[in-house]
Amino acid sequence: MEPFPVKYGLHASGLAGQRGGAPVYEGATFDLEPGDALQVRGPNGAGKSTLLMNLAGLVPPSDGRSSWRVENQETAETPREAISFMAHRSALEPALTVREHVSFWCAHYRNPNLIENQSAWIQAVNLNGYDDTPAGRLSAGQQRRLDLIRLMIADRPIWILDEPTAFVDAAGARHVEQQIERQKQRGGLTIVATHDRLDIDSPELTIG
């Protein structure tokens, strides 16, 4: 387990967001160092997803500011090439099989040394035996697990995860927690919006 070569930090102060023109959350203030994780919690509609979109620079916040640090240097840009984003929907193509997804991601994220390890990745998320099953025929929880392989293949230091354990069973949730712990130990940064409290060593940002 090698640490990430570049370390990232994130600072947010008084961040507020809106969805469809209506304000949803306000006053999000926190500071994350390399190796930190943050759980964003709150009821449905509290603006957890909106906060993640604001932090990822996809939607501008309505107030406050957030800034990324690269090796302790503040940058105005969002370090996109370092981010893995897991949306609340699993970004899968229903017609393509599990194995096709894995090889597509290996090519997309340019991780050639992983191409031989495809089966290992599929096994790691407990999808063995489903290699040739189209993603559309997997259950919602299995689709979530498949989307998790994407993060491992991308191998990026910043994780922004929206409900990674939704529909996922207890063993799957534990696997997510393990992966986040591993990310922390490597000096990565994790921000995870979650409905169920995850058993990880992290502060919580509660909206509501």
Query: Residue numbers of the site for another protein (CB under 8 A)?
Result: 15-16, 18-30, 39, 42, 46-47, 51, 53, 56-59, 80-81, 83-85, 87-96, 100, 104, 107-108, 110, 154, 156, 160, 197-208
Task: Label residue 134 left, alpha or beta by phi (over 0 means left) and psi (-120 to 50 means alpha).
Answer: beta
Residue with smaller CB distance to another protein, 51 or 127: 51
CB of 204 to another protein, least distance (A): 4
Among candidates 204, 202, 136, 140, which has minimal Cα distance to 172?
Answer: 140
What is the bridge-based pairing of β-strands 158-162 and 83-86?
Answer: parallel
How far apart are CB 1 and another protein at their closest, in Å? 20
Rounded CA gap, 81 and 158, in Å?
9
The CA distance from 208 to 206, in Å, is 6
Q: How far is the CB of 162 from another protein (least distance, A)?
A: 10
Compute the distance between CA of residue 22 and CA of residue 69 in angstroms, rounded to an integer. 30
HSE value, Cβ hemisphere, 13 Å, CA-based, for 193: 24
**Cβ closest to another protein, residue 127 vs residue 154:** 154
Smallest gap from residue 74 Cβ to another protein (A): 20
**Minimum CB distance to another protein smaller for 28 or for 168:** 28
* Closest CB 86 distance from another protein, rounded Å: 8
CA–CA distance from 9 to each of 49, 80, 89 (Å)? 20, 13, 26
Residue 113: what are its φ and ψ, rounded to 5°?
-70, -5
Q: For residues 5 and 21, which CB has a smaller minimum distance to another protein in the complex?
A: 21
Query: Which helix (H) or strand (E) element contains residue 108?
Result: helix 98-108
Decide whether 2 or 81 has the Cβ nearer to another protein: 81
CB of 107: closest distance to another protein in angstroms? 4
Based on CB atoms, which residue is closest to another protein, 65 or 88? 88
